[in-house]
Amino acid sequence: MKNKNEDLHGNVPDRFPVALLIIDMINDLEFPEGERFLKPAVKAAQQIATLKRRAKDLKIPVIYVNDNFGRWRSDFREVVQHCLKDGVRGQPLAELLYPDSDDYFVLKPKHSAFFATTLDTLLEYLKVERLILTGISTDVCILFSAKDAYMRDLSLSIPADCVAADTVAHTKTALEYMERVMGADTTSSARLNLPELCQNPVPAQEKVSE
């Protein structure tokens, strides 16, 4: 059925077959395992920042999907300011990945970017066919989000250098699983051919299997 409002009353002006998701990178890391996340998360953030610039040059929509940290009265801007101003461990992440005014954002209450959020509706109006997933944690929020995306018949790119977990082993195991089970492309961000993805968001083998 055709949408009554093709651009959600002007709130979703873009149309693009590919979207870049940045998951939980605006993060204070003030939790028991946070210290173990800091170094790999900063390394991933540096790569995500570069990938984001390349994506925006091609007009690929950027969507921040962020945990609300149990702060049900907060909004995304408050989360950003908390990570920038309160002397938290995760401040370098917010500095590297400070959102632009034309980025989209979705707050999530649980692990998956899709669970009890507006992401489904946003992606429907954007006409997205492929998601590029980046962020933390590879073996939890990235994995859960990838599973939900796969169940929605969305193709997946998960650049191996743009995700992080508390251990290298956890990241490696999760990436191998997503590649094997969900057909995710885990090519590193530097080798990710964004112009080609924009032209062919769904690989030929996936179209054949549908």
Show pLDDT as tens, one digit a residue, over the chain (210 residues).
Answer: 455 555 544 455 589 999 999 999 999 999 999 999 999 999 999 999 999 999 999 999 999 999 876 665 568 898 999 999 999 999 999 999 999 999 999 999 999 999 999 999 999 999 999 999 999 999 999 999 999 999 999 999 999 999 999 999 999 999 999 999 999 999 999 999 999 999 999 976 665 454
Query: Which residues are CB-contacts of 184 (< 8 A; sequence separation ≥ 6)?
Result: 146, 156, 157, 158, 175, 178
CA dihedral 177, 180, 183, 188 (to 10 degrees): 70
Q: Please, what are the domains in the chain?
A: 18-209 (3.40.50.850)
Q: What is the pTM for the complete model shown?
A: 0.91
